Each structure stands twice: as C-alpha cells, then as structure tokens.
Amino acid sequence: MAEYQNTTVSSGEMTQRFIEFVLMQAQNAAFTLGQIPHPQTGKAEVNLDMAQLLIDQLVMIQEKTKGNLNTDESRILAGTISNLQMGFVEVVQKQPSGEIGAQPGVSQKADQKPQVESAPDQTEADGKKKFVKSYGS
C-alpha cells in the first residue's frame, strides 16, 4: 500500500507558482492575440475566441481568489488582465468592420463582464441547452 506523503510548500514557493501560472496563461493569450508569432510559420495568428476564453479564465481566477492573494500576486494578476484586455481591444479595432461581425462574442468593451444567456432555439444532440456569451451592446 502506498504511503501518503504530506509535502509542505512554503508560501514563497506557492506565490512563485501562482505568478508562473498567471504568466503562462498570459503568454497563451498573447499568442492567440497574434502578439507572439507562431513558432513554425513565424506569422502572427489571431484567434479571438480563444483569447477571450483565456482572459475570462484569468478574470475568474481573480474573482475566486479575491482576498486570498498577497499584494504581489494581486498586482501581477490585475496588471496582466488589464494588459490582455487592452490588447484584445486593439486587435478587435484593427479587424476590418466586416470581420468583427463574423467573430461571435467579440466586442470593444473588454472591461464588461460577460453575461451568459441561453439560446432556447438551439439544443445539442444530448438535449442540453447551448449557452452563448454576450458582452452587451
């Protein structure tokens, strides 16, 4: 029978791990915003849906950890979210106006929280309702 090893991790190490996690998510979001070129092609590729998802995940982490982070963790997380949201808006503004409508859920208002609305006419094969994000108008 395997014994349970209780390893204690110092708070400094946990802080470092949290910051690394935030920066890794930020790097992934920057890649999907086209700020980092693709390693194989050398070209910047934009995927606004994925960028939006990664930014929303960081915002969720910020909300769920409110009051539990030290000042460095809070500052880095807030700054990262702010920079990514500004980058998202810049990419959306650079898109030709015809392409913006083709991107579902894209808006220039990056500071608004998403609203989840159900689409009653659309159902998946298993009978569950599909949900879409709306960033307001």
Q: Tell me what pLDDT residue 123 has.
A: 44
Which of 51, 63, 55 lies closest to 22 in space, CA to CA? 55
129-106-30-114 Cα dihedral, nearest 10 degrees? -60
On the CB side of 34, CA atoms within 13 Å amount to 15
- Residue spans of the domains in the chain: they are 11-105
Low-confidence stretches of the chain (pLDDT beneath 70): 1-8, 97-137
Q: Tell me what pLDDT residue 127 has.
A: 54
Interval 14-27: pLDDT, tens: 999 999 999 999 99
Task: Judge contact between 82 and 112, C-beta under 8 A.
Answer: no
Q: Is CATH 1.10.3470 correct for 11-105?
A: no
Q: Tell me what pLDDT residue 91 has.
A: 94
* Residue 29 CB partners (closer than 8 Å, separation 6+): 51, 54, 55, 58, 84, 87
Q: Tell me what pLDDT residue 135 has.
A: 52
pTM, whole model, 2 decimals? 0.64
